[in-house]
Amino acid sequence: MEILETAAALQALTEKWRREGRSIGLVPTMGALHEGHLQLVRTAAAQNDEVVVSIFVNPTQFNNSEDFKLYPRVPDSDAEMLRGTGCTVLFTPTVEEVYPRPTVLQFNFGALENVMEGAHRPGHFNGVATVVSKLFHLGRPHRAYFGQKDWQQVAVVRQLVQDLSFDLDLISCPTIRETDGLAMSSRNRRLSPEARAVAPRLYEALQLAAAQLQHTRQPELAQQAALDFLGAYPQIEVEYLQVADARLLQPLPAGTEPGQEAVICLAAWLGGVRLIDNVVLLLT
Amino acid sequence: MEILETAAALQALTEKWRREGRSIGLVPTMGALHEGHLQLVRTAAAQNDEVVVSIFVNPTQFNNSEDFKLYPRVPDSDAEMLRGTGCTVLFTPTVEEVYPRPTVLQFNFGALENVMEGAHRPGHFNGVATVVSKLFHLGRPHRAYFGQKDWQQVAVVRQLVQDLSFDLDLISCPTIRETDGLAMSSRNRRLSPEARAVAPRLYEALQLAAAQLQHTRQPELAQQAALDFLGAYPQIEVEYLQVADARLLQPLPAGTEPGQEAVICLAAWLGGVRLIDNVVLLLT
């Protein structure tokens, strides 16, 4: 596994690979790797000749400077974890390398980002789309891998790829969970023992909402059931809990028909740490 | 010269060229080719192994549906003109081929598009940035060629390339003029004989403003001199005439220092046809 730190070095290498006809998988991450990331890397390694993993805590997607400052950074153990996973190149640029000058252009994804993460984190998806575009142009992937824990991010990147005709396949992979159900996340490292103990309730609430939705087809009842459940845990402060169309991300209307794919997404604070999770279900 | 009509065919060919290590130049046009376009193509041919010329009247960059409808389309004579210029592939997609689905994402270039063309043609540069991004991803150019007649467009595309780290060189080429000074433009074909006779006054007005600016360093005086001059021609209706910083495109303040690069841009209507032109000068 080679470690590259400059955009020019990565571009030169991926250009060479393209010229040699080698297929390239890209796994963009912000580091503090966990098993969820490693699964993306293993999937990429199974489907491509070369795998680029980028580790870059992207300042432009943080609407909260404290969150950016506290985001975990553990480069040495990240590099260690990647050995043996099939990662060919680890790309760890500085902020100056990715943003030699401040950017001017702003992306807007309309309805897709007027809800949930987009609504609660102004500018977040502009930062995501900007850095993802840059990484696509540096890494020249045939396939790019994203985790479904960030469901809305996957939807936004899918729209980006489609609207700008990026020549690559976007591959989204299932959320990986701890044995107690907590979705793996780099931010989990920041949870206090007390917060960590209660964190699995988030996924339980989502499962409860999913069962309720499947049973009643009433999004509001599903939402309320989950909120009531979480209300019993004062350590959890829900930022949003939304039942939505899985593709369009818009709130599902009452009495939705079978065949509809729904996603239930939440964001919640636990002792100063913001976690997100979701479940997807097909109404039957 | 090969003619390709599908995105997939162009992508396959440019992928093959990249694999073979052949350099690619792209000249995006909306057709109704003139000598200005042909100069871009010849420049591209001198600097690259392969040259892709795209002809696509891009609906998303027209804020005026009448202008879109009336935009000249002469595919056969365009193809004829390209023979012998060094164009390797002529790409002539349909609207459905470029936009299989309506796009969702919107670009905003902030101050760069809050003036001149951006201010007078809402959504224009979003459409330009969208189609240029698509053509870059289909054509995979090492170098892309644009004419300086569309000065603001060049500035916007330069920002796009920089902000999204497109791996290509943007090459802007001088405006080509008729012997009487009129900037070559596809829209010139739509001028009535009377409008065509008076059209060279636009460039004269710009030259007058440039001389005045060089002499007085007073942008307002320069602007007024040009407007006074054009006021004598009732067939010409000026939409804007702006003295600006050549890079930032913002209005130049009075008393600008030597060393400043300025651009004087105008848009004007002549008998239902909208023309633009500009001159660039270095204050000495």
Reference B49, options B80, B7, B79, B13; nearest CA is B13
Q: What is the 3-state secondary structure (H, E, C) of B204-263?
A: HHHHHHHHHHHHHCCHHHHHHHHHHHHHCCCCEEEEEEEEEECCCCCECCCCCCCCCEEE
Contacts of A21 in chain B (CB under 8 A): 19
Q: Is residue A149 part of a domain?
A: yes
Residue B104's closest chain A neighbor by CA?
Answer: A109
A162 and A54 share a domain?
A: yes
- Collect all residues of chain A within an 8 Å Cβ-Cβ radius of residue B162: 101, 103
Determine whether the interchain pair A160/B130 forms a contact, defined as Cβ–Cβ distance below 8 Å. Answer: no
List CB contacts (< 8 A) between A166 and chain B: 137
| The predicted structure's pLDDT at residue A36 | 97
Q: With contacts defined as CB-CB under 8 Å, which chain A residues touch B160? A: 105
Among A13, A105, A107, A125, most B C-beta atoms within 10 A, so best to mutate, is A105
Query: Which residue from A7, A103, A162 is facing B101, i.e. has the nearest CB?
Result: A162
Residues of chain A with pLDDT under 70: none
> In terms of domains, do B132 and B54 share one?
yes
- Mean pLDDT for chain B overall: 97
- Residue where the block lists tokens 């694999």: B19
**Is 90 exceeded by the pLDDT of residue B188?**
yes
Residues B11 and B97 in one domain: yes
CB-closest option in A98, A105, A137 to B107: A105
Q: What is the mean pLDDT of residues B77-103?
A: 97
Q: Determine, yes or no, domain membership for B196.
A: yes
State mean pLDDT over B42-64.
97
- Is residue B203 domain-shared with residue B161, that is, in the same domain? no
3-state secondary structure A127-148: HHHHHHHHHHHHHCCCEEEEEH
B84 and B161 fall within a common domain:
yes
Of A20, A101, A105, the CB nearest to B109: A105
Residue B256 pLDDT > 90, yes or no? no
The HSE-up count of residue A65 (CA atoms within 13 Å, CB side) is 0
Quick check: helix, strand or coil at residue A270?
Answer: strand
Closest residue of chain B to A167, computed from CA coordinates: B137
Range of the domain at A152: 2-173
Q: What is the C-alpha to C-alpha distance for residues B106 and B203, in angstroms, rounded to an integer?
A: 34
A143 and A73 inside one domain? yes
Whole-angstrom distance, CA of residue B192 vs CA of residue B113:
31
Residue B255 has pLDDT above 90, yes or no: no
Tell me whether residue B83 is in a domain. Answer: yes
Q: Are residues B135 and B192 in the same domain?
A: no
Q: Is residue B284 part of a domain?
A: no
pLDDT value of residue A255: 84
Share of chain B above pLDDT 90, in %: 97
Burial class (CB in 10 A: 0-12, 13-18, 19+), A282: exposed
Chosen from A20, A104, A125, A156 to mutate, greatest number of chain B CBs within 10 A: A104
Residues B35 and B123 in one domain: yes
DSSP of B259-279, one letter per residue?
Answer: T-EEEEEEEEEETTEEEEEEE
Residue B181 forms part of a structural domain: no
Q: Any idea what the CATH number is for the domain that residue B201 is in? A: 3.30.1300.10
Do residues A120 and A206 share a domain? Answer: no
Tokens of B117: 């063309």
Lookup result for tokens 């290498």: A13
Tell me the three state secondary structure of residue A150.
helix
Please judge whether B163 and A18 are an interchain contact, meaning their C-beta atoms are less than 8 angstroms apart: no
Question: Looking at the structure, do residues B98 and B199 belong to the same domain, yes or no?
Answer: no
Element (H, E) at A52: strand A50-55
> Is there a single domain that holds both residue A161 and residue A191?
no
Checking if the pLDDT of B239 tops 90, the result is: yes
Question: Residue B179 domain-assigned?
Answer: no
**CATH for B96:** 3.40.50.620
Active site amino acids of B: 37
Q: Tally the domains of chain A.
A: 2
For B37-91, give the secondary structure using H, E and C.
HHHHHHHHHHHCCEEEEEECCCHHHCCCHHHHHHCCCCHHHHHHHHCCCCCCEEE
Residue B274, token pair as written in the block: 């909208």
Inter-residue contact B126 to B58 (CB < 8 Å): no
* B217, B82: one domain: no
CA distance B141 to B50: 9
Does residue A142 fall inside a structural domain?
Answer: yes
Confidence of residue B232 (pLDDT cuts 50, 70, 90): very high
Q: What is the model's pLDDT at position B269? A: 98
